[in-house]
Structure 1
Amino acid sequence: MPKTIYNLLILLLFASCNSETKIPTTNTDSYFPPLTGTNWETKSIADLNWKQSAVQPLLDYLQIKNTKSFMILVNGRIVMENYFNGHTANTNWYWASAGKTLTATLTGIAEQEGFINLDTKVSTYLGNNWTSLALNKENLITAKHLLTMTSGLEDLDNGDCVTADCLTYKADAGTRWAYHNVYVKLQDIIAQATNQTWTNYFNARLRDKIGMDGNWITVDNNSVYTSTTRSMARFGLLILNKGKWDNNIILNENYCNTATTTSQNINSGYGYLWWINGKSSYHLPQSQLQFSGSIIPSAPNDMFMALGKNDQKIYVVPSKNMVIIRMGNAADNSNLALSDFDAVLWQKIRALYQ
């Protein structure tokens, strides 16, 4: 066999083997809306070969469940965008705890810029006595513990108070998972490390780079983001694309992958302030109980989520190149981050494409 033909066959065999094992990390059909203006490409239900008959039952359910806005993106294009009860595309609404993921993202950006290290103790940035703990226990707490809800701190005010006198010892850092607003100390860490205000750094490094609107407000000692629905969708699209916006890397892919997978060995359903679906067990906010199975069994196993009080939702589904947004009041009375609403909602979403 001529040498050139032999070499060609070897190359073809190598490429064939690679094509079976290589998993693409980005979707070449991904679309990113312009940073300014209202233009945003759409894709119809018919274009996707989805079921038009499933649209109205979904909208009816959203309507009766106190929804204000709902969006579905596929490959970055709008498939559904609906507003209810007087809410409009220009109306701001609060993200509640879904906005924790914004803090997680800025933490990753600050790390990649060399301002912080996740394994460094918090007191390096904030000084001693930022809690009421003995210094030997306080010094166990790193930035990563704040990201993963494993600080070991207990708050005497149900997780809302983050002043030093409220932050008391419950367990050594890294040994206990507990949902807590102490994560906002990451915003103080970033402000100290960058010598900028949290808002200025957030706007320059994230908001303005992906065309978001909105602002931070303080509610019950907690920093809460408010924005339009499309801005929430822009953020979801950034994370779907592993931190890349068009040709710009906003957040490095390694951090993005780590943030959206299990982050510790206590709660499999939690990453860096993101909720992770499809695991064998999970914990819920305000509980130390472990539950078996996936958080939302009716949703795709590869989905990860930003979830906030009164059913603020960002669902990101890589296998479907899909981002779903829900803003509104609580679907049923007053809901924390998760409720039965998620399960039923996903049954109706899946009816669109199954």
Structure 2
Amino acid sequence: MYKTLFYLLSFFLFVNCSPDSKPDTITSENMYFPPVSGNNWETKSINDLGWKQDAVLPLLDYLELKHSKSFMILVNGRIVMENYFNGHSATTNWYWGSAGKTLTATLTGITEQEGFININNKVSDYIGTGWTSETLDKENLINCKHLLTMTSGIEDIANGDDVSPSKLTYKADAGTRWAYHNVYVKLQDVIAQATGQSWSNYFNSKLRDKIGMNGVWLPLDNNIVYFSTTRSMARFGLLMLNKGKWENTTILNEAFFNSATATSQNINLGYGYLWWLNGKSSYHLPQSQLQFSGNVIPNGPNDMFMALGKNDQKIYVIPSKKMVVIRMGDAADNVNLTLSDFDAVLWQKINALYQ
């Protein structure tokens, strides 16, 4: 049956499950990293972990029902589950959607640690003035950190995802309003200008190739998004689980990693540097100025941070469980995604593996 691949708007306000009702099994093994080249990757069985084999099939059935194309769980870097559905395979590329925002955040940190940029500097220091249609004094309020934290003050609804200057209009002073917007991609222009390299070449040399990912940036729905295999997405999740280090090599410095995966501003507590954060007292959703109480995913682990993309592309990183979870596929629900409970039910079924 199984042939071993948003908007984030798939959240919910009606789940009351405790995220950590029972301690999970955490192995004492060292963290494992697959070789940068080749397809070898160590595995660990459900039984070896002391997890519940009878919880596997309900999880897989749910994933297939919800239009998934792939699913992976890593523990300590080793593959515990790797499943493909609906004609997808380990060699098929699929889009990350907005989950790829975290790749841009990571490259921004790498660019800063190499001395090319300072995230507290104005965006216009790197790409020149006139990159928005705001007045010069308002445009010059926007620094690179505002793009990382979704606090640029750019109009987020009326002009859609278009990032041409004429569509980047003023809504509020930078730093005073959180709003999910595609303007973060201007960081890619900042990096290209500051390094003197193309965005894709710098990305490939400083991140992709160093951890053995495959993949390419391609146009999709008027955006440039990342496409890769599921294992490549898992490699990135593993890098983040290890705080920016691949084995003993620092790819992203830990100070930037810590800032990226912590609350980045005082408006949306559930948001870091283009990463979503669980376990905070409140959060905002895209295209909304409402504040909601509690966790983004109530029955997910409190320390989980997440890359979340259109049509339910997911990277969940859970430090306390030494775990990375990947889901790729089509949208889980073909209804109003704002009210989708996919994350809630998925985590209920993942929790059943070890609780």
User: SS of the residue aligned with 2:49?
Assistant: coil
Query: Deviation digits for residues 176-220 of structure 1, max 9, x if unmatched?
Result: 000000000000000000000000000000000000001001224
Letter in 2 for 1:136: D
Query: Within 2, Cα distance between the matches of 1:119 and 1:336?
Result: 35
Query: Within 1, Cα distance between the matches of 2:170 and 2:180?
Result: 15
The answer as to 2:48 corresponding to 1:47 is: yes
Task: Name the CA shift for 1:158/1:77 in 2 (closer, same or farther; >3 Å).
Answer: farther
Query: Within 2, Cα distance between the matches of 1:213 and 1:29?
Result: 25
Partner of 1:172: 173
The answer as to 2:258 corresponding to 1:292 is: no
Query: Within 1, Cα distance between the matches of 2:160 and 2:354?
Result: 39
The count of aligned residue pairs is 328
TM-score by length of 2: 0.90
Task: Name the CA shift for 1:142/1:335 in 2 (closer, same or farther; >3 Å).
Answer: farther
Query: Within 2, Cα distance between the matches of 1:115 and 1:125?
Result: 10
Alignment of 1:137-286 (within 5 A): 137-155=138-156, 158-286=159-287
- Which of the pair has more CA radius of gyration? 1
User: SS of the residue aligned with 1:154?
Assistant: coil
Task: Name the CA shift for 1:338/1:100 in 2 (closer, same or farther; >3 Å).
Answer: farther
The answer as to 2:339 corresponding to 1:315 is: no
Q: What percentage of aligned pairs have identical amino acids?
A: 77
Alignment of 1:75-86 (within 5 A): 75-86=76-87
Partner of 2:344: 343
**Is this contact kept in 2: 1:156–1:167, CA < 8 A?**
no
Query: Within 2, Cα distance between the matches of 1:101 and 1:185?
Result: 14
**Is this contact kept in 2: 1:310–1:334, CA < 8 A?**
no
Letter in 1 for 2:149: T
Query: Within 2, Cα distance between the matches of 1:28 and 1:243?
Result: 19
**Is this contact kept in 2: 1:57–1:348, CA < 8 A?**
yes
User: SS of the residue aligned with 1:165?
Assistant: helix
Query: Deviation digits for residues 206-258 of structure 1, max 9, x if unmatched?
Result: 00000000100122442200000000000000000000001100000111011
**Is this contact kept in 1: 2:156–2:179, CA < 8 A?**
no
Query: Deviation digits for residues 146-175 of structure 1, max 9, x if unmatched?
Result: 000000001465531000000000000000
Unaligned runs of 5+ in 1: 1-26
**Is this contact kept in 2: 1:311–1:335, CA < 8 A?**
no
The answer as to 2:36 corresponding to 1:35 is: yes
TM-score by length of 1: 0.91
Letter in 2 for 1:64: L
Query: Within 2, Cα distance between the matches of 1:154 and 1:181?
Result: 11
**Is this contact kept in 2: 1:156–1:168, CA < 8 A?**
no
Q: CA deviation at 1:286?
A: 1.1
Q: CA deviation at 1:340?
A: 1.2
